[in-house]
Structure 1
Amino acid sequence: MPKPPTTVLIVGSGPTGLTLAVDLARRAVAVRIIDKSPQFPRSSRAKGPNPRSLEILEDLGVVGEVLAAGSAPLPMRKYRDGQVIADADPYAAMRPTVDAPYDRPWLIAQWRLEEILRARLAEYGVRVEVGAELVGLAQDDDSVTATLAGGAEIGARYVVGCDGAHSAVRKLLGVPFEGKTTEEQMMVCGDVEVSGPDRGIWHQWFDEDGAVMLCPIPGTASGWWFQAGPERDGSGRPVPPSLESFQRLFATHTRLPGDLLTQATLLSTYRVNERMVDRYRVGRVLLAGDAAHVHSIAGGLGMNTGIQDAFNLGWKLARAASGRALPELLDTYEEERLPIAAHTLDLTAERLRATLEAIRKPGGGLDSAITPGTYGLGDGYRWSSLATGGGTDRLRAGDRAPDAPCRDTATGAPRRLFETFAGPHFTLLGFGAGSVRALRDAAAAHGDELRAYAVDAGTTQGLSDESGRARSAYGIGPDEDVLVLVRPDNHVGLIAPAGDHRTVADYLNGEALERA
């Protein structure tokens, strides 16, 4: 094969593909992203990022726009026989903490989130190429050739399939998508225009023979997410979704006039699928997001798991593609993310069971699907070969690195730890004066790929933890001197005593991270 002009080709321009494209582009990786759709969708689909995904979007520099374009989750109102039974706000008692600044998911139409990510990607000179359908893949030891419908070819060093549950990339690789489809757990979904219901409420009508759920779509005057149990014909077969069937379902379960619902788009039938691949990588081709795993919508983890796949993969792919790491570094993507996918399938299946049980009783609703486990903040990689060293009483290598408020010792200005992490680099935190030598040596040896910060080390350049919140978040005592290396995806790579000066160098020069 000829030498490819593109380093990474991404197939699929949903949130997973766009997150990966932005992360690679900001690392100066030559990336192309294609999508078979002739134009960008305007459907709302997924309801928005969870707290961990919001942290990722902050790192990518777009969280402000996402928050401005969406809204906080709304109180839920449950009805029975058309009458209000109960109100619930599952986030009412939640508050941001110093180590986790986002305490709840955020409602935003998927098309708007994608629009924000595309704009960010364009700042790096990369634009999504629509109307480009992948029909063939061939690879050798050095490159991959992607063939498009119409015969055009794209050469790349790596290809990543972010092209959804019906992934062409996965099918062309011949990777099995094992699992099950539960036909009896079926739902019709769509974006609808409705007048009348209060837009400050997520309405949920449950009856013995079905349900209708309406959640207002932020940024629209009268748009709603519509979900319902399917209408069935006289033989018990589900009726294909249409404006008319939505109107009948709306009238039946809400006891309101069906013609209040005046428009329906993104008409779809959803069946509970629980499927995943047994590997994320075949040579130079990788899978991410729904191309690798699908599960129940309970807990809202579909899009979020894909965004988090992409953030795990981006720095590894950039490092391997640039020749700064051995290709085997890419094996840690599967090592870390495949167990997360398996856990997510189990979690969402359990949350679906809990929700179906709850709605059989008056007052039950979708709040039953929400637990701290659906926030993504507890997902870590303690089992990973990239998790080195011991830990503290609160943190171990592989865990998500917490945020904390500090001050810049040179200027006195407030500085969050997340601000030091943001960007395509490793971050070395050295707590205490005993860490200064290790910080100095690491910064000299690794240049732009690492940023080193002394925390309460008595230096004029670094961070002051005057409130003690950083030490508390990391489980480090006031008199302890400790090194914490944070990976580019904001997970802890190692925790070690500050006097162990070779630890950071050994980690960054290790076979997985550095080409010998």
Structure 2
Amino acid sequence: MTELNGVKENGAPDVLVVGAGPTGLTLALDLTRRGVHALVVERADTLFPGSRGKGLQPRTLELFDDLGVGDAVREASAHAPIGQIWQDGRPVGEHDMLGDSGVGGPTDTEPHPRARLLPQWRTQEILFERLTGLGGRVRFGTALTGFDQDPAGVSAYLSDGSTLRAAYLVAADGGRSTVRKALDIGMTGEAVDPAPMVVADVRLRPGALDRDHWHLFPGPDGGFAALCPLPGTDEHQFVARTEDLDIPAVVADLTHLSAQDVTEVRWASDFRPRAAMADRFRAGRVLLAGDAAHVHSPAGGQGLNTSVQDAYNLGWKLGQVLRHGADPALLDTYEEERRPVAAHVLGLSTRIHRGQEERGGATRQLGLGYRGGPLSQGAAGALEAGDRAPDGPLPDGRRLFDLFRGPHFTLLAVGTDAELPPVSTEFLHVHRIGAYEPYGKGLFLVRPDGYVGWAGEDATGLPRYLARLTRPGSPAAGS
């Protein structure tokens, strides 16, 4: 048996991921770069073909940089155009669709201050290309038909008649998750809007609408339609409050365009905006992530972003358990950290959908963190454990995010000569830098997902904290 980047090419996976959407691909990519053998199974024959989750928030752009897909995402995407409001076939005003047009350019601490638009299908292609380039694999046309679990692992039964044995199974199979239903885990929530909606990818007759605006068509009684140009394509995403899937007819009914102006409907789907969250995110060796754990209104562009950040949180924890011998109880912190975030984002999306709150700083997700969480301990300088670790320039031309990039922890000593305990160079990288105001003076242990896990003025308590993250007696545990 050969190995690719430390990952077994054949044999039973360590983690079976159900669903090749953004969540499943992000998780598999993160695990693969850690040398964890992850296999994705996807019931469809191909990647998802639509644009549905097209908004990428700044925090997600930071995540993608770490995973090695940042350049490809930026090349394929664009900042959102200004919204142009139409009435009776005439433009009558403009609207900042994402609430970030007043945000300036990159800063020392925030290299990606504004959201970008990228069709979901292209985001998934980029993640898939990176995953397979590292030796990871997706089995298309393969559905999970059932599973059993015991204290040692999970037996998964697939539609091709095969059975796979894995240490853990992660459900990334969407809002109608078959895994969640099989576990009999409920979804608690509410309808955000009683009216049904459709979303579609369409091609328009050349010149029918310019591609410099996000076109908005308000209608009577709260009705509306929108046509947003999709970067890197000749298509628009069409969204409307209707249940009619005859897209050309709906475009003609709700805009000043004619049905003939729609030359092709590439993909279409209907849905009812809902906000709901799974009653729990873990049942033994099975974990829920993304839409399988929480569903959102599309307002504010939070769903895909929250979902891939679930994967980013879970990936390093599975890596610590499977590669570094951490106590499996570490996986309990996934739900403990991500459920409060999901609840916050659900509320935000719902308020934006109902017009109770404007898009803005909160939707960028840079302010989300884990203060007071089970893996957040201490404070120093300007930061408290649980905070997002800011970026910053270094004297050698690199940036702090360059130091953090990769599947390791980073112990950052800022403006201090405090003595440090012995650590494993594989598990934990150590860097000393001069005084930097966004951090202040102190020691900061930055997690692989870019949050401060531990902070202190000296190393007191650090070995005990590290002991939770690796096998007893390892150098990283301070023995």
Instruction: State if a TM-score over 0.5 links the two structures.
Output: yes
- How far did 1:185 drift? 2.9
| 1:423 corresponding residue in structure 2 | 406
- Out of 35, 47, 51, which is 2:54 matched to? 47
| 1:352 corresponding residue in structure 2 | 353
2:139 equivalent to 1:129: yes
Specify the code of the residue in structure 1 equivalent to 2:233: T
| 2:228 corresponding residue in structure 1 | 215
| 1:10 corresponding residue in structure 2 | 17
Question: In structure 1, how many angstroms separate the alpha carbons of the residues matched to 2:387 and 2:193?
Answer: 37
Secondary structure, aligned partner of 2:195: strand
- How far did 1:117 drift? 0.7
2:394 equivalent to 1:406: yes
1:132-171 alignment to 2 at 5 Å? 132-171=142-181
Judge conservation of contact 2:21–2:47 (CA < 8 Å) in 1. Answer: no
Specify the code of the residue in structure 2 equivalent to 1:348: S
| 1:201 corresponding residue in structure 2 | 213
- How far did 1:514 drift? 4.2
Question: In structure 1, how many angstroms separate the alpha carbons of the residues matched to 2:72 and 2:108?
Answer: 22
CA radius of gyration, larger in: 1
- Residues 457-476 of structure 1 show CA distances to partners (whole Å, capped at 9, x for unaligned) of xxxxxxxx6xxxxx2212x1
- How far did 1:184 drift? 2.0
- How far did 1:252 drift? 2.9
- Out of 439, 444, 451, which is 1:484 matched to? 444
- How far did 1:513 drift? 4.8
RMSD: 1.7
| 2:376 corresponding residue in structure 1 | 387
Question: In structure 1, how many angstroms separate the alpha carbons of the residues matched to 2:449 and 2:370?
Answer: 12
Question: In structure 1, how many angstroms separate the alpha carbons of the residues matched to 2:71 and 2:238?
Answer: 27
| 2:127 corresponding residue in structure 1 | 117
- How far did 1:182 drift? 4.9
1:56-71 alignment to 2 at 5 Å? 56-71=63-78
Indicate how the Cα distance of structure 1 residues 259 and 281 shifts in structure 2: closer, same or farther if over 3 A, else same.
Answer: same
Secondary structure, aligned partner of 2:210: coil
TM-score by length of 2: 0.92
- Segments of 5+ residues of structure 2 without an aligned counterpart are 1-10, 474-479
Question: In structure 1, how many angstroms separate the alpha carbons of the residues matched to 2:157 and 2:95?
Answer: 51
- How far did 1:48 drift? 3.0
- How far did 1:98 drift? 1.2
Specify the code of the residue in structure 1 equivalent to 2:360: T
Secondary structure, aligned partner of 1:98: coil
Secondary structure, aligned partner of 1:193: strand
Question: In structure 1, how many angstroms separate the alpha carbons of the residues matched to 2:276 and 2:342?
Answer: 10
Judge conservation of contact 2:318–2:331 (CA < 8 Å) in 1. Answer: yes
Indicate how the Cα distance of structure 1 residues 346 and 183 shifts in structure 2: closer, same or farther if over 3 A, else same.
Answer: closer
| 1:506 corresponding residue in structure 2 | 464
Q: Which runs of 4+ in 1 moved over 6 A?
A: none
| 2:45 corresponding residue in structure 1 | 38
- How far did 1:249 drift? 2.5
Specify the code of the residue in structure 1 equivalent to 2:267: L
Indicate how the Cα distance of structure 1 residues 379 and 141 shifts in structure 2: closer, same or farther if over 3 A, else same.
Answer: same
- Residues 356-381 of structure 1 show CA distances to partners (whole Å, capped at 9, x for unaligned) of xxxxxxxxxxxx75221111111101
Secondary structure, aligned partner of 2:167: strand
- How far did 1:216 drift? 0.8
Specify the code of the residue in structure 1 equivalent to 2:279: D
- How far did 1:131 drift? 0.6
Judge conservation of contact 1:81–1:207 (CA < 8 Å) in 2. Answer: no
What fraction of aligned residue pairs are identical, expressed as a percent? 41
Question: In structure 2, how many angstroms separate the alpha carbons of the residues matched to 1:321 and 1:171?
Answer: 27
Specify the code of the residue in structure 2 equivalent to 1:127: R
- How far did 1:267 drift? 1.9
Indicate how the Cα distance of structure 1 residues 139 and 261 shifts in structure 2: closer, same or farther if over 3 A, else same.
Answer: same
| 1:316 corresponding residue in structure 2 | 317
2:103 equivalent to 1:94: yes
Which stretch of the first structure deviates more once superposed, 247-256 or 373-382? 247-256
| 1:454 corresponding residue in structure 2 | 432
- How far did 1:273 drift? 1.1
2:280 equivalent to 1:279: yes
Secondary structure, aligned partner of 1:214: strand
- Segments of 5+ residues of structure 1 without an aligned counterpart are 231-237, 356-367, 408-412, 457-464, 466-470
TM-score by length of 1: 0.85
